[in-house]
Amino acid sequence: QVPLVESGGGLVQAGGSLRLSCTASGRSTSAMGWFRQAPGNEREFVAAISRSGTYTSYADSVKGRFTISRDNAKNTVYLQMNSLKPEDTAVYYCAASTVLTTRPDEYLYWGQGTQVTVSS
């Protein structure tokens, strides 16, 4: 197993920024992704990064505003979120997969989630 722990969520005004972190217990050799789920909605893909960090993928709704990165020496993946909007409000989850993918069913391990609330 690869226990994942997210941190960095909170309350921010529209236009503000937050940086989420996801730390894996032990050495992570996985592709990593961020997903989010708002009340009443299905879990949706946000961003993903390859094992080496060379390749990334973003949902259209966050392109140009969010940046995913990783520090393998620290077993940590980051999601820098800028120009936040009220519609970004959700619980954000990080997840680990064997491949770079946008499909949540291809992720094997999930964190517990961290709440992000953007006020208007």
Per-position pLDDT tens, the chain of length 120: 568 999 999 999 999 999 999 998 866 668 999 999 999 999 999 999 999 999 999 999 999 999 999 999 999 999 999 999 999 999 999 999 999 999 999 999 999 999 999 999
In this predicted model, what pLDDT tens digit does every residue of 55-81 receive, in sequence order?
999 999 999 999 999 999 999 999 999
pLDDT of residue 42: 96
DSSP state of 39: T
Distance separating the N- and C-terminal Cα atoms of the chain: 39
CA 84/CA 18 separation, integer angstroms: 8
Question: Shortest CA distance to 7 belongs to which of 22, 26, 17?
Answer: 22
